[in-house]
Amino acid sequence: MSELTYVGNVFPGATLPYGLAKAVADTDSESNQGGFTFDGANITGFSSMHDSGTGYVYHLHSVHTVLIHDSGNPSLGNFALFLYAGCINDTIDGCVFPKKARKTQFINNTLKASPGYFGLTLVNGIEAEMTAAQHTSLFRFGFPSNGSSPLVLLDLTDLSDSRQDNASVLVDAGTGRMTGNGRFLPSFGQSNYVAYFCADFSGPDIRDSGIWVDSRGDAEVKDVTISRGINGGGPLPGGAFIRFTSSKPVSVRVGLSFISSDQACSNAEVEIPNFDFDATRDAAVSAWREKLKPITVSTNGVNSSLLRNFYSGVYRTMVNPQNYTGVNPIVSEDEIWFDSFYW
């Protein structure tokens, strides 16, 4: 008797065909190369860039043989968002900031995923939905009615905690806009890369905003440059936060670039100017329909699961590679550039 297990680590979240922005919930699973996993792992945040198919697990078990082959570290998952309906004792430090401490479960039967959309509900009652344009993610968070002052944090992290020295974030005291960057390691290959973000918020009035480092937050501080840490303990946790005056829904628009935060802001303002979630999702669905409509298949005598697998396979051929044209610092902005060619 033998058992064969294969996991492709595919990205299951919201994106356009060949889109740079890939929004999904991230888990702490050992197989989180695509960000989200459906294995009971905890949610650690919601981030906007992911790869697909960068790792695999191949287990062959028999009476005489156990063969285990694992390959590919998680990559991307940069600048994760996390949120609370309110902080204990209504103080900033009543919320938990570091990734390992804040992780939480989600409710299985609330999980929804379709082209251009991903959604789930956390066990604390917070609802998270996300969609995407080419270089921009749009998140919509709903809070329980008994929430007091919702807090949204942004973490200068990635899936594999590979951040190097001197990541930074700046918070605009008036609008709450967060801009910044971080240097990270890839899943394969050598060297490193710098990613930039621009996060804007739409919802209730802003109560306060500021910076957090490790487990403490401060509304008086509006910018930070953070080191990797000491004694080989990995990157020092840090980022920014914003609190709101009521538990009404909050939308977060995250623009992305590998060139500058200014370009990330410009991408977001052009692609999703009005925080319109439904319109952004509809545009994503239309983009996928346009790509898939040349394909027609006969369904006579075809099992529905086979048909589902066929279309899922075709869909995934256009999740990657990712179109980095115009946002890649190593080539001219008018040179076509696709990246993340896996499998």
Taken as a whole, the chain contains a residue count of 343
Contact 192, 78 (CB under 8 A): no
Torsion 102-83-209-230 (CA) sign: positive
Q: Is 93 exposed, middle or buried (0-12, 13-18, 19+ CB in 10 A)?
A: middle
Find where tokens 């329909």 sit. 289
Instruction: Give residue-wise pLDDT tens across range 268-308.
Output: 999 999 999 999 999 999 999 999 999 988 888 888 899 98
Round the average pLDDT of the chain to a whole number and report it.
Answer: 88
Alpha carbon distance, N-terminus to C-terminus of the chain:
29
Classify domain 75-279 at the CATH topology level. Answer: Beta-galactosidase; Chain A, domain 5 (2.70.98)
Contact 49, 22 (CB under 8 A): yes
What is the pLDDT confidence band of residue 72, given thresholds at 50, 70 and 90? low
Instruction: Give residue-wise pLDDT tens across range 177-187.
Output: 999 999 998 87
Work out whether strand 338-339 and strand 250-257 pair parallel, antiparallel, or are unpaired. unpaired
Which of 73-82, 206-215, 316-325 is predicted most confidently?
Answer: 206-215
- Residue 298, pLDDT score: 87
- Identity at 113, one-letter amino acid code: A
How far is it, in rounded angstroms, from Cα 258 to Cα 156? 15
Distances (CA, A) of 88 to 58, 73, 239, 260, 283: 44, 36, 20, 36, 39
- Mean pLDDT is lowest, of 118-127, 158-167, 259-268, 277-286, for 158-167
Domain ranges of the chain: 75-279, 294-339
261 has a pLDDT exceeding 70: yes
Instruction: Give residue-wise pLDDT tens across range 331-343.
Output: 888 889 888 776 5
- Residue 211, pLDDT score: 97
For residue 76, give the nearest of 20, 129, 14 by alpha carbon. 20
Q: Which residues contact 18 (CB under 8 A, 6 or more apart)?
A: 318, 319, 320, 321, 322, 323, 338
What is the pLDDT confidence band of residue 47, given thresholds at 50, 70 and 90? very high
The residue-averaged pLDDT of 86-111 equals 94
What is the pLDDT confidence band of residue 140, given thresholds at 50, 70 and 90? very high
**Using H for helix, E for strand and C for coil, what is the string for 125-152?**
CCEEEEEECCCEEEEEEECCCCCCCCEE
- Residue 342, pLDDT score: 63
- Residue 178, pLDDT score: 98
How far is it, in rounded angstroms, from Cα 100 to Cα 98? 6
- Identity at 327, one-letter amino acid code: V
3-state secondary structure of 117: strand
Structural tokens at position 180: 């910044």
For residue 292, give the nearest of 312, 320, 322 by alpha carbon. 312
267 has a pLDDT exceeding 80: yes
The residue-averaged pLDDT of 324-328 equals 91
- Mean pLDDT is lowest, of 37-51, 117-131, 223-237, for 223-237
- Residue 60, pLDDT score: 44
Which of 200-214, 217-231, 305-319 is predicted most confidently?
Answer: 200-214
- Residue 68, pLDDT score: 42
**Sheet of strand 206-213, all strands in order from the earlier edge strand to the far edge:** 24-27, 43-47, 81-84, 151-155, 238-244, 206-213, 216-218
Which phi and psi (to 5°) does residue 203 adopt?
165, -140
Residue 44 vs residue 75, higher pLDDT: 44
- Residue 81, pLDDT score: 98
How far is it, in rounded angstroms, from Cα 139 to Cα 132? 9
Residue 209 vs residue 308, higher pLDDT: 209
7 has a pLDDT exceeding 80: no
- Identity at 73, one-letter amino acid code: N
What is the pLDDT confidence band of residue 61, given thresholds at 50, 70 and 90? very low
Whole-model pTM? 0.90
- Helix pair 304-316, 277-292: axis angle to 10 deg: 100
How far is it, in rounded angstroms, from Cα 293 to Cα 306? 18
Quickly count: other Cβ atoms within 10 Å of residue 282's Cβ: 13
